[in-house]
Amino acid sequence: MKIAVLIKQVPDTADERTLDPETGWLNRDAGDNIVDEINERALEVALQVKDKDKSTEIVVLAMGPDEASKAIRKALSMGADSGVHVLDDSLAGADAVRTAAVLAAALKGIGADVIVAGNESTDGRGGVVPAMVAEHLGLPLVGALSVIELSGGKVSGERQGEAGTLTVSAVLPAVVTVTERTAEARFPNFKGILTAKRKPVNTVSVADLGVQDPAARAVLVAHSPRPARVAGKKILDDGTAGTLLADYLIENRLV
């Protein structure tokens, strides 16, 4: 089985994240850029398939600036076999529709049996790109799985919905997204880090992929920082804090 895993490099959620005051785009220089945790979990799903069946081939696909090659190397050090990096200056600020068109074109070249992605990135939070990719490729989307079983030419699992869960399945090829309730990712080991350097990474441009720009696009019209919160009063409980809090809530008409 050939598995493609979509990887996105994002600013670490543990740092303060900012927008570029000029463009309103993500400020990539503000803090550390890392592989989004949810993508590591997606990769872990693929690696667990490979643990059981060594013939499994895992290709990671990332679209992003130069620095995104680090995210690909990290994935290779965790155990993926090869990488594809879509690198093109014209993609800076690309919206979801354009991103999906580009990823879908790259995926046609990869020819995977299953495409695994995170359900939602921590920077965009749109949760739409994998579904768009599925639409481009004419594939079923088995989204938001918290439990996943990939074998026998089929994917099945538990989908976390708004009102309980669904048991869902699809015959491969398919696009799958996982939630953060799937297993935490493994750490790269020493051997993984060494061999990652020798694994192939294919860097491609928009022209290489032959993708047309979609006619419609989302554009940013305004952006402004909101004032940060300031800390209020803080008291040490001397045995009366519960009563004082009740007074505070009543005085401020919060109850």
104-133 positions binding another protein, by CB under 8 A: 120, 122, 124-132
**Phi-psi domain of 25 (left: phi exceeds 0; alpha: psi -120 through 50; beta: other):** beta
The whole-angstrom separation of Cα 112 and Cα 82 is 13
Q: Which helix (H) or strand (E) holds 157?
A: strand 154-161
Element (H, E) at 61: strand 57-63
Chain centroid to CA 40: 8
Residue 131 contact partner, candidates another protein, ligand FAD, none, CB within 5 to 8 A by sort of partner: another protein
- Measured between alpha carbons, how far is 242 from 114 in angstroms, rounded to an integer? 54
Nearer to another protein, 113 or 180 (CB): 180
* Among another protein, ligand FAD, none, partner that 83 touches (CB below 5 to 8 angstroms by kind): none
Residue count, binding to ligand FAD (CB under 6 A): 3
- In the complex with ligand FAD, the residue whose CB is nearer, 9 or 122, is 122
Q: Which is nearer to another protein, 19 or 201 (CB)?
A: 19
Contact between 205 and ligand FAD per CB under 6 A: no
Block residue for tokens 């990939």: 150
CA–CA distance, 127 with 99 (Å, rounded to integer) = 13
Tell me if 64 contacts another protein by CB under 8 A. Answer: no
Name the phi and psi angles at 223, rounded to 5: -155, 140
Asked if residue 251 binds another protein (CB under 8 A), the reply is no
CB of 198 to another protein, least distance (A): 34
Residue closest to ligand FAD (Cβ)? 37
What is d(CA 169, CA 152) in angstroms, rounded to the nearest whole number? 12
Q: Please, which of residues 113-152 interact with ligand FAD by CB under 6 A?
A: 122
Minimum distance of another protein from residue 146's CB (angstroms) = 7
Binding site for ligand FAD (CB under 6 A): 13, 37, 122
